[in-house]
Amino acid sequence: MRDARILVFVAAVAAIPRLIVLAYARGTILTEYVEKSDTFARTFIASGTYGFVPGVPSAYTQPLYGWFLIPLYWIDRTWVLVGLAQIAVACCTALVVLQAGTLALGRRTGVIGAVLATLNPYLIWHDVHINREILDQLLAAALFLAIYAAARAGGWALAGGAGALLGLAILGNSRLAALPLALAAYVLFYRRNRGGLVFVGVMWAAALVVMAPWAIRNKTEVGCWAITTDAHALWKANNTNTYRTLARGGWIDDVPAMPGVSPITPEYETDFYEQGHRIVRVNECKQEHTYEHAVFVFWRRHPGEKLKLMAQATRMLWQPQQTRTEGGPETVAGIRSWAEAVWTLPIYLFALIGLFLVPRRFAGLALVFLAYETFEAWIFAGATRYRISFDFVLALLAAATVTRLLNSWRYTASTPSTAAPSEN
């Protein structure tokens, strides 16, 4: 009964502030800062084509969030349905974080960690809007739990489950493509035997099985093996104009187009279609190759510039204030930015202390997740929205510190003073 009350409490802490934000922002949920997956889902409902326009299949975005939206849009595309569905996902994420913290650090720390994680001000606003990170958070927390449990016990079921979660996570965020290597290194460090190798093999195999249908579909319908063909975004984060664009407060979307290459990308197909013009079909696979080649050339010819970008990405990823990557009223953005900083600064401090309080196996996995997040920013770019999927790790580490402080306070309060009272 007590466990049921804890689950209800954590779910309520996650849901209530998001319901308030949903009611406040209901007029903009489906119109502002809308993710490409929204277009893909609407096109699929209207025509059966997963792409920007009917009859033109595309792989220009990670597929998972679009698949999440399709059944919702099939029922009805309303702010109520989308908002409530995403709040339900946020509640599930909080409960998974609760389970991970309870398994590794105890029930009290698990509750505190789940509450800290779900009350992140950025998430409270972000989770009710159309964004793919809502699924990234849930899958990251579930994967963390599965890998930690595997390091302790192993087993075929855990290996297969972790692999399936890993495959789904990559389908939701292609920048996690190298995460299987990092997780394999972690598992093998703690399970230095044949069982560890078998676990990694099963995990990788399960991940490939989950990703294979999408890759095969892209080869068949688009023309190349890919999770996403949007290498244009990677190039925008890796060229000679990127650093100065970000340094002056812009975002990678403001980077000038590559000289000699058509600026038309598959996203333009929607505009042409809605305006009644002839659709300019873009060869996504050829364009992907062009931009990926340009990125490798940039890394090879401008290593100093790339090092500057890596330092800049690290700062933008981990800065306490919200990274400005989108427009909007300055006052609202400023409030959200400073609210995030007020939450983040003590979390950072307590998480740093918590690293020395938690079991080494837990600390090791936490460092793997946080290091990979930084590595991901080095390859692409840093921003608050790219950090939030792994912020639950910081919350759990911070919770360990809070628990230690609460225990110390209770011990001090319950211990009688050693000084004898005066009898004068």
- Walk along the chain (424 residues) and give the pLDDT tens digit of each residue: 578 899 999 999 999 999 999 999 998 899 887 889 999 999 999 999 999 989 899 999 999 999 999 999 999 999 999 999 999 999 999 999 999 999 999 999 999 999 999 999 999 999 999 999 999 999 999 999 999 998 887 778 899 999 999 999 999 999 999 999 999 999 999 887 778 899 999 999 999 999 999 999 999 999 999 999 999 999 999 999 999 999 998 889 899 999 877 778 888 777 776 676 666 778 899 999 999 999 999 999 999 999 999 999 999 999 998 876 544 333 345 566 678 888 999 999 999 999 999 999 999 999 999 999 999 999 999 999 999 999 999 999 999 999 999 988 876 766 665 444 444 3
Q: What sections of 119-193 are H helices per DSSP?
A: 121-126, 133-153, 156-172, 179-190
Q: Which residue has the tokens 């299987």?
A: 180
| pLDDT in the model for residue 337 | 67
CB 169 within 8 A of CB 136: yes
- Model pLDDT, residue 265: 84
Count of beta carbons in the 10 Å neighbourhood of residue 411: 9
Q: What is the pLDDT of residue 277?
A: 64
For residue 321, CA distances in Å to 70, 127, 316, 317, 336 come to 34, 18, 9, 10, 9
> Is this structure's pTM higher than 0.85?
yes
- Domain boundaries defined on the chain: 2-407
Distance between CA atoms of 34 and 344, rounded to whole angstroms? 26
223: left (phi over 0), alpha (psi -120 to 50) or beta: left
For residue 227, the cross-strand partners are: none
Q: Which of 231, 248, 229 is nearest to 51 (CA)?
A: 229
The residue behind tokens 């840093």 is 382
Question: In sequence order, which residues have a C-beta less than 8 Å from that of residue 345 and are 6 or more positions away?
Answer: 320
Q: How far apart are CA 255 and CA 363, in angstroms?
A: 38
Q: Which structure tokens are listed for 360?
A: 């080494």
CB 124, CB 17: distance < 8 Å: yes
Q: What is the pLDDT of residue 333?
A: 53
The answer to whether 399 and 105 are in contact (CB under 8 A) is: yes
Looking at residue 196, its pLDDT comes to 86
Tell me, what's the pLDDT at 329?
A: 34
Of 394, 280, 403, residue with least CA distance to 343? 394
